[in-house]
Chain A
Amino acid sequence: ETGVTQTPRHLVMGMTNKKSLKCEQHLGHNAMYWYKQSAKKPLELMFVYNFKEQTENNSVPSRFSPECPNSSHLFLHLHTLQPEDSALYLCASSQDGIAGGTDTQYFGPGTRLTVL
């Protein structure tokens, strides 16, 4: 595997379910990101991790819980979601690992989430 991979690619869940999205980067990068891309709003940054430490939470509701066990893996734990949370969730990574870094972000293909 190369680049940034995300699993699953598609997920359908009910509002009472608990599920997790997984992201893995094979680039040796030190920063990882979660983004939300919905049909009606621009691509939005959710969380940033630098060297496994969360450095940015863009006012994301607590029903989204990120976890970064190491610099190569990033999870997004989901619980009691709402239908308006249906979107494409994208993971990205970059080399830098410092807040304010300027390295290129490399995106995964995303997980298409549908909340019923």
Chain B
Amino acid sequence: TQLLEQSPQFLSIQEGENLTVYCNSSSVFSSLQWYRQEPGEGPVLLVTVVTGGEVKKLKRLTFQFGDARKDSSLHITAAQPGDTGLYLCAGGGGNTGFQKLVFGTGTRLLVSP
């Protein structure tokens, strides 16, 4: 069974601080996705990384896929209250594509003004 462990589980910070969320597995994934889920809403895709060692930037968010494709990280610079939400990583790709995603345990982020 493929598992994706995220850390930390909860993170409460002040506006302007930096943070990093980790997503780790003992399994290799062809691709890794990151989602953000706000209260009362479904998850929304932020990024897909497909190459080991790949780094993608989305404004203040930086995503990295580990060289061995077993882990990923999400770094947020100068967090804002609008970044508050549940961050989920999800592994997929290969023969099953993105139709059978394995989701991580989630990191709940609260950014206070």
Contacts and interface: CB of A to CB of B under 8 A. Distances in A.
B42 A4 contact: yes
Interface residues of B, number: 23
A33 B104 CA distance: 18
Considering residues B4, B43, B95, B96, which has the most beta carbons from chain A within 10 angstroms of its beta carbon?
B43
A101 B99 contact: yes
B83 to A, nearest CB: 19
A47 to B, nearest CB: 11
Interface residues of A, number: 28
A43 B100 contact: no
Nearest to B4: A42
Interface of A: 4, 31, 33, 42-45, 48, 50, 55-56, 90-92, 94, 96, 99-110
Interface of B: 4, 31, 40-45, 88, 90, 93, 95-106
